[in-house]
Structure 1
Amino acid sequence: MSDQRLPIFPLNVVLYPGTTMPLHLFEPRYRQLLKDIREGDSRFGILTSISGVPERDLPLGRMGCVAEVTEVEMMPDGRANIVIVGRERFALDEFVPDDAPYHVAEVSFVADTPGANAVVLAVTSDDVAQNFKRVVKAVHAINGESGPLPTLPDDPSQLAWTIASMIDIDSDLRYQLLAERQPAVRLASVDAVLRKVLPDLELRAAMAQKDR
């Protein structure tokens, strides 16, 4: 059963719950979308598109994320720069007829399923956070940069999404992390990416510091 009807913006990005993203709106239909939602709750759906698939042909069940507009910079010609924050995940139920120039769909909200023991999840989460911090420190050393480490959430169910929004991963994995309903699996996937790059990054960091 559908939970809500949402304006939909199919886009070749993945927005995660609890993360922010800047967007530039230039198409007339999305300028209208922005105008309409600002008169309501400032929310619409980012639906992750598929290369080569027409927007209205995206498969039922395709995952997306509710986007809430938190900042708007309007330009004289009607274009806009906005900042959005991810809220609930949703699955596409169906596109519905509407007079709006943008897509509108019935969607169902998606929650995590029970999985790993809370203590195990917390320990795993801490390990992933430490590996991410090691990656960031190595990158800073390589680039001769300094500064504070990114702030990470305490919630293990949120951590993988926050880290994924800050690192370079392929689009398929990015989408899989959105669709995955077990936090432990999301954490393991992100940790595998971090562990793969860590040895090379820390070696390069040590060499860079030696040369200075």
Structure 2
Amino acid sequence: MSFLSLFPLNLVVFPHEDLNLHIFEPRYKELINECLENQTTFGIPTFVNNKLAGYGTEVHITQLSKRYGDGRMDIKTKGLRIFRITDFQNPVPDKLYAGGEVVFIENEDLNETINPILLSLVNRLYALLKIKVDYNRPEYQPFSYRIAHKIGLSVSEEYELLTVASEAQRQQVLVTHLKRILPIVSEVERAKELIAMNGHFKGFDALNF
């Protein structure tokens, strides 16, 4: 087990993900200043459904972008390892911020193999929405993590994905999600087209009775 200073947020950070943060609360100004001074990492556990769910991601600060006169900061961070909290302290003794003992979770299936069904469903979703999304990255990151924020998952669903250690299983979770939402998205897009046609001159095929 290891000890991490903790910065709970209502979001999910995945390994290798870049996250920009604006630091303004006194407890987190203290936490970030200590991380900068000691070159240490901190953890972002997910706060979901009004509770600390238990899993999170260790992050390190890659850049202090700006420090304001009142102590606020803009920082850039990157996700490292997933952890599970085994002992939560709020606050840490003699500190303003929370912390806890954590166990780091080893990821499996780290080879970059993309389920062709998943890729097809992702492309179908973007075609329906008529948008282009770049899910390629120059550095290694499992495909499930690259697209998790880009296919309409809720925070709760992203959190559940974070708790799955196998890349193959994570991709199957996303296949199930997309198969569920694609018919809904298709109907919504069809409804938008019908609404857009309202008031326009329409041509209909002749009907045989």
Q: Aligned to 2:104, what secondary structure does the other structure show?
A: strand
Write the letter of the residue equivalent to 2:177.
V
Write the letter of the residue equivalent to 1:187.
Q
Q: How many percent of aligned residue pairs carry the same amino acid?
A: 25
Q: Hey, what does 1:84 align to over in structure 2?
A: 77
Write the letter of the residue equivalent to 1:74.
R
Compute the RMSD of aligned alpha carbons: 3.2
Report the alpha carbon displacement of residue 178 of structure 1 after superposing the two structures with TM.
0.3
Report the alpha carbon displacement of residue 78 of structure 1 after superposing the two structures with TM.
1.9
Residues paired across the two proteins, number: 191
Q: Aligned to 2:59, what secondary structure does the other structure show?
A: strand
Give the alignment partner of residue 101 of structure 2, picking from 101, 106, 114: 106
Report the alpha carbon displacement of residue 175 of structure 1 after superposing the two structures with TM.
0.8
Matches within 5 A, 1:67-78: 67-72=59-64, 73-78=66-71
Q: Hey, what does 1:20 align to over in structure 2?
A: 18
Q: Hey, what does 2:128 align to over in structure 1?
A: 138
Listed one character per residue, the Cα deviations across residues 171-192 of structure 1 (whole Å, up to 9, x for unaligned) are 2211110001222221111122
Q: 1:24 to 1:194 in 2, by over 3 A?
A: same
Listed one character per residue, the Cα deviations across residues 120-142 of structure 1 (whole Å, up to 9, x for unaligned) are x8352x4323432332343235x
Matches within 5 A, 1:34-183: 34-53=32-51, 58=52, 62-72=54-64, 73-96=66-89, 97-113=92-108, 122=113, 124=115, 126-140=116-130, 149-152=133-136, 158-183=142-167
Report the alpha carbon displacement of residue 151 of structure 1 after superposing the two structures with TM.
3.2
Question: 1 or 2, which has the higher helix percentage?
Answer: 1
Q: Hey, what does 1:144 align to over in structure 2?
A: none
Measured in 1, the distance between the counterparts of 2:159 and 2:167 equals 14
Measured in 2, the distance between the counterparts of 1:123 and 1:16 equals 18
Measured in 1, the distance between the counterparts of 2:142 and 2:124 equals 19
Q: Hey, what does 1:192 align to over in structure 2?
A: 176
- Rg comparison, structure with higher value: 2
TM-score normalized with structure 1 length: 0.74
Measured in 1, the distance between the counterparts of 2:71 and 2:41 equals 19
Q: What runs of 5+ residues in structure 1 fail to find an aligned partner?
A: 142-147
Listed one character per residue, the Cα deviations across residues 121-174 of structure 1 (whole Å, up to 9, x for unaligned) are 8352x4323432332343235xxxxxx641335999711122112232122211
TM-score normalized with structure 2 length: 0.75
Moved more, 159-168 or 86-95: 159-168
Q: Aligned to 2:96, what secondary structure does the other structure show?
A: coil
Cα contact 2:45–2:56 (8 A) shared by 1: yes
Q: 1:155 to 1:24 in 2, by over 3 A?
A: closer
